[in-house]
A and B are shown apart, each in its own frame.
Chain A
Amino acid sequence: MTVLHDSNAFKANAATALHDASLQEALAIAREHSIPTRARAIERLPEFERLRNSGRDLKNHVIAHLDQYLLQFEQSVVARGGHVHWCPDAGSARARVLEICRSVDARTVTKGKSMIGEEIGINAFLEANGIEPIETDLGEYIIQLRRETPSHIIGPALHVTQAQVEETFRKSHDGLDPARNLDDPAALMAEARAHLREGFLKADVGITGANFLIADEGASVIVTNEGNGDLTQTLPRIHIVLASIEKVVPDMHDAMTLLRLLPRSGTGQELAVYVTFSAGPRRAADLDGPGEYHVILLDNGRSAYLGTEFEEMLRCIRCGACLDHCPVYHSVGGHAYGWVYSGPIGSLLNPALNGIENAKPLPHASTLCGRCESVCPMRIPIPKMLRHWREREFAGAIAPMPERRLIRLWAFFARRPWLYRLAARLAARGLHLLARGQGRLKSAPFAAGWTRHRDLPAPQGRTFQEQWRARS
C-alpha cells in the first residue's frame, strides 16, 4: 500500500487508482450506498432547502464577524475554566499539543476523528516525541494500523474492503487467535472494540476535533456515531480540542441549524447518534470528566482567504456530501488528491492551504458538472471556485505554456467571426474527409486524449453557418 502525498501527481495517482480492483470495489459500494441514503433523508424533511439557505446565511454572517465571535468564544471558554490557544500554523499547533501532553507526562493519547489532526500531522509528531497516539474512530483506527491517510472526510477507511480489514487486524493485533473466525464485519468490530477499550482506559490525554464551536457558551461540539469521541474526551485527565477558526457559530440555536443539515447530508441520518457539547473541565462536584480543557484554534492559512473570491469555501462543515456525489471521486477515490482533503472540497482546500503550486492539477480535475454544489448543505459554489483557481493558475502562468498558447490562439479566432467561420469550414471539411465516409475517426494524433478511449464522430462536412447562408 502506498501513501500518496503529492497533489501534483494527481494524474498518476488517478491512473493507479483506476487499476486498483479492491479500491474500485470499495468505491462502488460507497457510491451505491451514499447517494440514495442522502436522498431519502432529505425527502423526509420538507424544510431542507430552506435550512440550506439558513445555514449558508448563518456562516456568511459568522465569516463577516469572525474576529468578534472568536474573541467571545475565548472569553467564554476561559470563564468556564478552560484554555484557548491561538495557533497561526500547523507547527505552532503541534508544539502546543505536545506542551500540554508533556505537562502531565502523557505516554498515551487517545484520539477522536479530527481532520485538523490530519492537517497538522499530529500523530506522526507525537510518535516522534515518544507519545503513543491511538485513533479510536473505527475507520481512523483501521487506517492508522495500515499507515494510511483518510480517503474520505467522514469515512476515512472508505477505500478499505472488509477482507483488507481482517488482514490488517490479523497482522497488527498480537495475541489474536489465528483460528478465530473474523469473517463478518460484526466480528471485526467486536475485535476492534475490545482492543480499543484498553486504550481508552489507559490514556492520559484525549484529543478530539470539533464540528462547531459555540461562541457565547464557550463550548465545542462533536458529532459521531460510535461514541469513541465521548470516551476520548471523558476518560483522560485532559481534553484537547483541535478546531479551525471557521468552526465558530454564535450560539446553541445556530448549532441546531447546522445539526439539522450535517448528518442528513453526510450519512443520510436524521441525526448522528451522539452530538456532544463540551464546555470547560469537570465541575467540582462532577464524578467524571477531564480535569483540563484546551482548545487549539488553528488558522493555518484560512484567514488569507477572508474577503477574497475563495471566502465561501470557509462555510464548509465537512459533511462529505460533495465527495459522495462527485463522479471524479467515484472514479479515483480520495488518495489520488494527494493530501488530507479530497473530492471537490479537497480541490479547493488543498490548493488554498498547501499552495496552488503544490496542487496544480486539482482545480482541473473536475468536469464542473455541478453536482457537488447541488448537494452541498452550505450551498458553496464549488465549480465557480474551481474556476477561480484555474484563473489564478492562468494569470500566474502556473498553467502549462502550450495549453495557454492553444487557448489564446483559439480565442483569437473566436473573437473574429469571419476568420472563425473560415477556420470552422476548413476544419469541418478536413475532419469529414479524414473519416473517409466512416462517420468517425478511430484515432487522431491531434486528439489523442480523446481517441485513446473513444472514437471521434466526424463532422457532417459543411458548417451550419455556411449552409444557412447558402440557403438564405
Chain B
Amino acid sequence: MTSQPSSKVDTVALFVTCLVDLFRPSIGFAAVKLLEDAGCQVVVPPGQTCCGQPAYNSGDRESAMAIAQGTILALEAHPAIVVPSGSCAGMLKRHYPELLADDMNWGPRARSLADRVFELTQYLAARGLRIDAQVAARATYHDSCSSLREMQVKEAPRDLISQVRELSLAEMAETEACCGFGGTFCVKFPDVSDAMAQRKVDCIRATGADLLLAGDLGCLLNLAGKLKRAGSTIAVRHVAEVLAGMTAQPAIGESGTGDSRMGDSGVGGK
C-alpha cells in the first residue's frame, strides 16, 4: 500500500543511498534542490549507511536484518523518507517489512516506516512540483526494475521530464527489460550481465538519444560503463540532475567540466 505524501508534510528525510554517497553526491544535492523547490525542508539523518541490499540479496539475512534495524532507527522519526533510487526505496518499502515480519518489536516499526517511503520522482510528482529547468537534449529514460516493479514508478519521471524545456524524450524498445546490473550479479556473472547490458545499450542507441536518464545509480554506472567502454558519446545522468537543471558536473563516467551542450543551463549545486 502506498500512502500519498500529504502536502502538509514539510520535513522530509533524504535517504541518500550508499552509491550516491560514494560515487555521485551531485545526485543527492539535486534531490535536495528539487525537494526544497517542492516546499520541503530536507534533513539528512546522520545514522544512515546502506539499505542492506548486498547482504539481503546474498542470503545473509542476519546482517540484512541488523542493517535494516539501524536504518529504521535512523529514519523512523521523520514523517516522510525520500530516496533517489527505486532499488533502495524498494528495499525499505517492500523488503524491510518482509525481513522483520516475525519480530514483535521491529516488524511494526518496519511497516510503519515502509508507509512513509517514496522514490524521489514519485514524491515530487505527487507533490505537484513544477519543473523549472532547461536542458537541450534528446533523452531516453531507463526504467530500473525496482522502480518499475517494486515501486510502480512509471509515469512520474516521464511527467517531470516532459516539463524540462528544450528536452525531448524518445522511448526505447523493451523498456521492461533489465540492464544486467543486479548488484553482485554483474560481478558474479560478468559475461551474462554483459550480454544483457549489450541488448539494453542497443535499444538505447536505436532511439538516437544523446542523453540517457534513469532513477537508479546502479543501472546508470552499469550502462555508463558499458557505453563509455564502447566509446559512445551518449551522456548518462541521474534524472534528478536534469530535473534540477544541475548539469554542471561531468556526466557519469566522463571527465572535464560537464557537457557543453547542457552546461549553459546548469544552475549549480547549493
Residues of chain A having any CB pair with chain B under 8 Å: 11, 14-15, 18, 35, 327-328, 330-332, 364-371, 373-374, 384, 387, 389-395, 399, 403-404, 407-408, 410-411, 413-417, 420-421, 424, 427-428, 437-440, 442, 447, 449-450, 452-460, 462-465, 467-468, 471
10 A-B pairs with CB atoms under 8 Å apart are A14-B189, A367-B186, A369-B145, A371-B176, A410-B54, A424-B22, A453-B194, A455-B224, A455-B228, A468-B44
The answer to whether A455 and B225 touch across the interface, beta carbons within 8 angstroms, is: yes
In the complex, chain B residues whose CB is within 8 Å of the CB of A467: 25, 29
Q: Which of A370, A447, A455 contacts B145 (CB 8 A)?
A: A370
CB neighbours of A390 from chain B (8 A): 57-59
Contact A463 to B22, CB < 8 A, known contacts A369-B178, A410-B55, A454-B229:
yes
CA distance A428 to B57 in the complex (A): 24
Q: How far does the Cβ of A31 sit from chain B's closest Cβ, in whole Å?
A: 9
The residue of chain B having its C-beta at the shortest distance from the C-beta of A373 within the complex is: B149
Q: What chain A residues lie within 8 Å of B267 (beta carbons)?
A: none
CB <8 Å contact, A450 and B22 = no
CB of A365 within 8 A of CB of B49, answer: no
How extensive is the interface on chain B, given as a class? 35 or more
Chain B residues lying within 8 Å of A417, measured Cβ to Cβ, are: 46-49, 70, 74
- Chain B residue numbers with a CB within 8 Å of A413 are 49
CB of B55 within 8 A of CB of A407, answer: yes
Secondary structure at the A interface, as helix, strand, loop or mixed, is helix
**Across the interface, do B255 and A328 meet the contact criterion of CB distance under 8 Å?**
no
Q: How far is the CB of B198 from chain A (nearest CB, A)?
A: 8
Contact in complex: B192, A331 (CB < 8 Å): yes
Closest 6 A/B residue pairs (Cβ): A367-B182, A390-B59, A454-B225, A449-B187, A394-B59, A411-B63
A332 touches B192 (CB 8 A): yes
**What sequence of 0s and 1s flags, for each residue 147-169 of chain B, a beta carbon within 8 Å of any chain A beta carbon?**
00110000000000000000000
CB distance A415 to B70 under 8 Å? yes
B205 on the A face (CB < 8 A):
no
What distance in Å separates the Cβ of B109 from its nearest Cβ neighbour in chain A? Answer: 17
Residue of A nearest to B150 (CB): A370
B177 CB-CB contact with A under 8 Å: yes
Find chain A residues with CB under 8 A from B270 CB: 471
Supposing A370-B150, A450-B225, A460-B249 touch, asked if A364 and B185 sit within 8 A by C-beta, the answer is yes
Are B187 and A447 neighbours in the complex by a CB distance under 8 Å?
Answer: yes
Is the beta-carbon distance between A453 and B192 smaller than 8 angstroms?
Answer: no
| B57 engages A456 (CB within 8 Å) | no
Contact B149 A453, beta carbon cutoff 8 Å = no
Q: Which of A327, A368, A421, A460 has the most CB of B within 10 A?
A: A327
B99 to A: closest C-beta gap in Å: 10
Name the residue on B nearest A459 (C-beta): B23
- B213-270 interface with A by 8 A CB criterion: 221-222, 224-226, 228-229, 249-250, 252-256, 270
Flag if B225 contacts A464 (CB, 8 Å).
no
Whether A449 contacts B186 by the Cβ 8 Å rule is yes
> What is the bound-complex CA distance between A15 and B185, given in angstroms?
15
- Select one of B23, B145, B149, B184 contacting A460, CB under 8 A: B23
CA distance A221 to B203 in the complex (A): 42
Chain A contacts for B26, CB-based, 8 A: 460
Cross-chain contact B18 with A439 (CB below 8 angstroms): no
Q: How far is the CB of A440 from chain B (nearest CB, A)?
A: 4
Instruction: List residues of chain A with CB within 8 A of the CB of B207.
Output: none
Whether B124 is near chain A, meaning CB under 8 Å from some CB there, is no
**CA distance in complex: A403, B185 (Å):** 13
Q: Name 9 extra pairs, CB < 8 A, besides A404-B60, A411-B63, A414-B49.
A: A328-B189, A331-B195, A367-B196, A392-B59, A407-B58, A411-B66, A449-B186, A454-B194, A462-B25
Cross-chain contact B149 with A459 (CB below 8 angstroms)? no
> Is B60 in contact with A408, judged by CB distance below 8 angstroms?
yes
Residues of A within 8 A of B49 (CB): 413-417, 420-421
Answer whether residue B82 sits at the interface, using C-beta atoms and an 8 A cutoff: no
> Cα distance A400–B213 when bound, in Å?
36
Are the CB atoms of B24 and A459 closer together than 8 Å? yes
Bound-complex Cα distance A347 to B192 (A):
15
| C-alpha gap A15/B189 in the complex (Å) | 10
Q: Are A387 and B56 in contact (CB under 8 A)?
A: yes
A351 vs B79: C-alpha distance when bound (angstroms): 43
Q: Are A11 and B255 in contact (CB under 8 A)?
A: no
> Does A371 lie within 8 Å of B67, measured CB to CB?
no
A407 touches B187 (CB 8 A): no
Q: CB distance A457 to B224 under 8 Å?
A: yes
